[in-house]
Structure 1
Amino acid sequence: MIEPLTPLSRLILVTGPARSGKSEWAERLAKNSGLSVIYIATSRLDSTDVEWQNRIQQHQVRRPPEWKTLEVPVDLAATLQAVYNPNTCILVDSLGTWLANLLEEDDSSWQTILGDLIITLNKASGLIIFVAEETGWGVVPAYPIGRKFRDRLGILVQKIGAISNPVYLVTGGHVLNLSELGSPL
């Protein structure tokens, strides 16, 4: 069941493991918002990666044709500032892909980028739905870059989750409203 949107539902976070249905749930929330939708795709197109192109195409086919799509692999905060308004639902898919595009940033630059995003979200009007992956439920990655990704994504999702209401966990094809079931840290 999809809850009606309220003034507290300005930011929504949908998180979960790979192939759990989180993007479909976020798309359903956007469709049911009654607002015009801007879909922000954070992936980079790679013409040499056929499997990745197929994944992107699956997402494109599911989206209604009237949704505006923006490809934003890096400049997320600036794009959000430029497009949000009270009559728009923005769907960002996904935070993990966005982070991967910025993984080579040093810690200081990453903290600035993350801080800019949080400041932007605190000022946002309209509805913003984020899709984020959960990567920290498995083994510790064997390589430093994998650990860096996992740690940064965990902190990013936690920060976005702290200012979102509701926060959904999608796993095993089921949706849990963590805002109703859990307590914030």
Structure 2
Amino acid sequence: MAIFITGGARSGKSGFAEAYAMKLAKQGIYIATSQIWDDEMKERTAHHRATREQSGYGWRTIEEPLALAELLERLEAEHREDAERPAVLVDCLTLWLTNWLLRADYDTESGQDANRYDELHAEADKLIAAVADYTGPLLLVTNEVGSGIVPAYPLGRRFRDEAGRLNRKLAAVCAEAYLVVAGMPLDLKKHAFAFGED
């Protein structure tokens, strides 16, 4: 069962996702998608890991910044027959998208613009399929980035648009979807408008 969790920065979405995972299973697999580029990110990552370890819950952390679909497929195969499956928490999809967007936009080897957005879209499609096929408890944390001002630079606008598209497609294949605002999770699917059939 896939669960989509979105919200703004520091809204409480990761805390909600971790608490929900603890309700769903006796142990969990925490998939961290961040890449550590500087000391601030290193400290932030260490803080999050220490917080998880102090929770007393059996988290196993896997760092995977790019091959998320393949990892979910592997975990599905490994745990499909388990009587008690671990809860898998991906935190976060926005960083995963950033990692792919930077690869699609810029070739680090040549130092040139890459414009490989087809590769980005193919990876997003693979991820959506892997989430739809996952049968155990799976929690996906992402940021809601489209509510602010329009970014002033092209890559920022593309990121906002790609994040919105990815979030919309993932929420559609998830059994549950929550928006966390000021620490309060709101059940989006329960309150979503639906056109009636005539």
C-alpha distance in structure 1 between counterparts of 2:182 and 2:22, whole Å: 22
| CA deviation string 1:134-182 (max 9, x = no partner) | 1110000000100111111100110110011211101112111111122
Q: Does 1:12 align with 2:3?
A: yes
Runs of 4+ residues over 4 Å off in structure 1: none
Count residues with an aligned counterpart. Answer: 174
Inter-CA distance 96–83: structure 2 relative to 1 (3 Å threshold) = same
The correspondence for 2:41, drawn from 29, 44, 52, is 52
Matches within 5 A, 1:105-144: 105=104, 106-144=116-154
1:90 aligns to 2:88 (yes or no): yes
Q: Provide the C-alpha distance between the structure 1 equivalents of 2:3 and 2:14, rounded to a whole number of angstroms.
A: 13
Amino acid at match of 1:60: R
Report what 2:113 is aligned to: none
Q: Give the TM-score, by structure 2 length.
A: 0.83
Identity, in percent, stands at 37
Name the Cα RMSD after superposition: 1.6
CA deviations 1:67-96 (Å, max 9, x no partner) are 110000000000111113341211000000
Q: Distance in 2 between matches of 1:55 and 1:130?
A: 20
1:72 aligns with 2:64: yes
Partner of 1:182: 192
Structure 2: distance between partners of 1:92 and 1:184: 28
CA distance in 2, matches of 1:152, 1:180: 25
Q: After superposition, where does 1:163-178 map in structure 2 within 5 Å?
A: 163-178=173-188
2:96 counterpart letter in structure 1? W
Q: Is the Cα–Cα contact under 8 Å of residues 42 and 93 in structure 1 kept in the other structure?
A: yes
Distance 1:101 1:184, change over 3 A: farther
Please report the TM-score for the alignment, with normalisation by the length of structure 1.
0.88
Given that 2:4 and 2:178 are in contact with CA atoms closer than 8 Å, whether structure 1 keeps it comes out as yes
Measured after TM superposition, the shift of residue 184 of structure 1 is 6.2
Structure 1: state its 5+ residue gaps: 1-9
Answer yes or no: is the 8 Å Cα contact 1:162–1:184 preserved in 2. no
Deviations 1:21-78 (A, max 9, x none): 00000000111112421100000123xx222122212321221462110000000000
Q: Are 2:33 and 1:23 equivalent residues in the alignment?
A: no
